[in-house]
Amino acid sequence: MEDIVLSLKSDVVGSVRKLARGQSSATSDAILAAVLKSLEEDKAEDVVQIDLRGKSQIGDHMVICSGRSTRQVSAISEKLKDRLKDDLGIFSKLEGKGTGDWVLVDTGDVIVHIFRPEVREFYQLDQMWLEPTVPTQPKV
DSSP annotation of 138 reads P
Question: What's the pLDDT band for 19 if we cut at 50, 70, 90?
Answer: very low
23-78 pLDDT per residue, tens:
556 898 999 999 999 999 999 999 999 988 878 788 899 999 999 999 999 999 99
Euclidean distance between CA atoms 29 and 26, whole angstroms: 8
Euclidean distance between CA atoms 102 and 95, whole angstroms: 8
Domain spans of the chain?
Answer: 26-129
Q: pTM of this prediction?
A: 0.75
Helices 28-41, 70-88: axis angle to 10 degrees equals: 140
Is it true that domain 26-129 has CATH number 2.60.200.20? no
Question: What is the DSSP secondary-structure string of 63-88?
Answer: EEEE-SSHHHHHHHHHHHHHHHHHHH
- The answer to whether residue 138 scores a pLDDT higher than 80 is no
pLDDT at site 69? 95
Euclidean distance between CA atoms 115 and 65, whole angstroms: 6
Question: What's the pLDDT band for 13 if we cut at 50, 70, 90?
Answer: very low
pLDDT at site 137? 66
